[in-house]
Homo-oligomer: A and B are copies of this chain.
Amino acid sequence: MANQEDMIVYSLGPGCGLEEVEEGKVYAGIVQGFANFGTFVQLNARLKGLVHKSNIIGTHEEKEQIFVQVINIRNNGNIDLAEVAPTVFRLETVTRRAKVTGLGELASRVGRDVTLEATVAQIKQTSGPTIFTLVDATGSGNAAAFVEAGVRAYPEVELGDSVFVVGEVMRRQNQLQIEVSAMEALTGEDAQRVHDRIEAALDARAEPEEIPLLIESEAMEQLRPEMRKVAKRIRRAVFEAQPIILRHHADADGISAAVAVEQAVVSLIKEEGNDLDTAYYLFKRSPSKAPFYEIEDITRDLDFALKDNVRFGQKMPLIVLMDNGSTEEDIPAMKVARVYDIPMIVVDHHHPDAIVDDYLVAHVNPYHVGADFGITAGMLGTEVARLIFPGVSDRIKHFPAVAAVGDRSEAPERQRYLDLIAEEYSEDVCKDIALALDYEQFWLRFNDGREIVKDILNVDGERDLQDKFVNLLVDEANAAIEGQMEASMPHVTEEILPNGAHLFRIDVEIFAHRFTFPPPGKTSGEIHDRLCKQHPGEPVVTLGFGPDFAVLRSRGVMMNIPQMVRELHEEIRGGGISGGGHLVVGSIKFVEGMREAALAGLVEKIGRVPVESSLPAQSED
């Protein structure tokens, strides 16, 4: 027996195997059970030995800690122990010498035992084993642990834990999988160490490459740090198997932005070794009905996310809003997300309300750097997508131009993005593509139309198909617009306001076809464009109204719609007035029974607004 004066008692760390146990050394163990010939003692989760009854010192209970010396390790792996009771000793932890394998290296380890340190990204209880999706610095993978059919293995291991795993790499239906022989949720320093190491590695992996923008743009260079932040957060989500929900404005600009990011994320998911099904459940894109993220939207997203969390053990998602999300109308939904610790990102070019930033992990917005909506969401989304997955550039580099003409950007970046692709797409073709997107999205309602939209945008290099399809959609869209104008234009009424502006009014519900393309807002816009052309150089306001709403378009009239709405809300009691938008383009809502009062009040205000003294004689298209 060793000299107890300076005895070292070893504690076998998680995953230590027989190769870490040495004869003669003393270990801390836990009494596991009793037989008539002795006492079984557990040295760690994987190893146990026997103390023959002749070698027991005192009487013990199950789960009691005792110290034991290793007398003999037999050829069959059985360990003979003797109890010792040192009075003075030092405790020392034995860490496993076995090399920790990275999840990215599993393919070369099929049929072999591996040791892993990872964090748990998903826990799915199947009717058979429990499947843990693991993430480490090098990649991700699935580990199957079985106790009993349908029973949760290692119930103490929870989503997000750092774990130590020993198992064999198997190919199951040709997918790599670790068949777990031991798993342990790390605690204290071990957990911290593994967590920190993976965290640091993921953080490093998530860092986007340094690549130049597609064009020169001072404003966008200033936005670069925030765009990198967005790209990095999205890359991390992919590396950690966190689902991504992308919600976007259902117009050509919003679609361009969102599809760019979709292409990048799906490419990255595939590069991580996942199949298409995984890409489908880890990434969902949905056009939004309203120009903001409504309480109804988050309710639906939360409903599905929680069900997936419970049923499939998925992580709660990352929510990305594009071409919307930057105004206070989004706050209620953001509050809900915060209750559930759901991170949110916004990439938008609408005038932001500062308060939204309290709820966001990142927010790219040209107004933050003194630019305006002329830097469209499609431009921003395309550059963010390139930071997420640079290889996507060639497939999406024409999106900003489509977005720019679709959203009538007047920023200098518009022309630069058009120049970038001038050999392939003329400005007119870009306009056609934008109109085709608007028209097709109208019929898609709020489905993503993933493949259709890719064909319209020509992601896959099938220009012939794109040409045929876009031309067809543009023809249909224009015919529909002509039909609508034929019905509406004769009913437009005109008056000259005190400030000299032309005011045109049209009831777009009773003098237009309903539930078809173009919808009321676009109908009003089209009417306005035509009237502007008929009155070159003159100030024009067009008011398209329905029972409980009005849409305002204007040229050369220096309105401040949000302020007018605030005033009308105060002045018209029981009008239920709300609304807003940009300064000179916007909409207003009221209760149906107060329409006359609301419109009268609005027109009265418009008539008092100053008009621009010098307008270009020819209105732009």
Contacts and interface: CB of A to CB of B under 8 A. Distances in A.
B472 A507 contact: no
Contact of A510 (B126, B302, B512, B593): B593
Q: How large is the interface on A (under 10, 10 to 19, 20 to 34, 35 or more residues)?
A: 35 or more
A329 interface: no
Interface in A591-612: 591-594
A444 interface: yes
A299 B443 contact: yes
Interface in A216-231: none
A616 interface: no
A176 B127 CA distance: 9
Interface string A272-304: 011111101000000000000001100110110
A527 to B, nearest CB: 12
Contacts of A332: 476
A347 to B, nearest CB: 25
A90 interface: no
A interface majority secondary structure: helix
Given A472-B336, A511-B593, A591-B487, A451 B576 contact: no
B513 A576 contact: yes
Interface stretch (A61-69, A143-151, A369-377, A533-541): A143-151
A112 interface: no
A335 interface: yes
Oligomer: number of copies: 3
A339 interface: yes
Interface stretch (A12-20, A306-314, A495-503): A306-314
A491 B593 contact: yes
Given A174-B149, A576-B512, A339 B472 contact: yes
A368 to B, nearest CB: 27
A353 interface: no
A584 interface: no
A149 B176 CA distance: 7
A274 B510 CA distance: 53
Contacts of A357: none
A452 interface: yes
Nearest to A299: B443
A160 interface: no
B513 A311 contact: no
A498 to B, nearest CB: 28
B125 A275 contact: yes
A486 B176 contact: no
Nearest to A464: B339
Given A339-B472, A487-B574, A510-B591, 19 more contacts: A107-B149, A126-B275, A127-B274, A128-B174, A276-B310, A280-B311, A295-B443, A299-B443, A300-B447, A306-B451, A332-B476, A339-B468, A487-B576, A488-B574, A490-B573, A507-B593, A510-B547, A511-B574, A512-B576
Top 3 nearest A-B pairs by Cβ distance? A128-B174, A487-B576, A490-B574
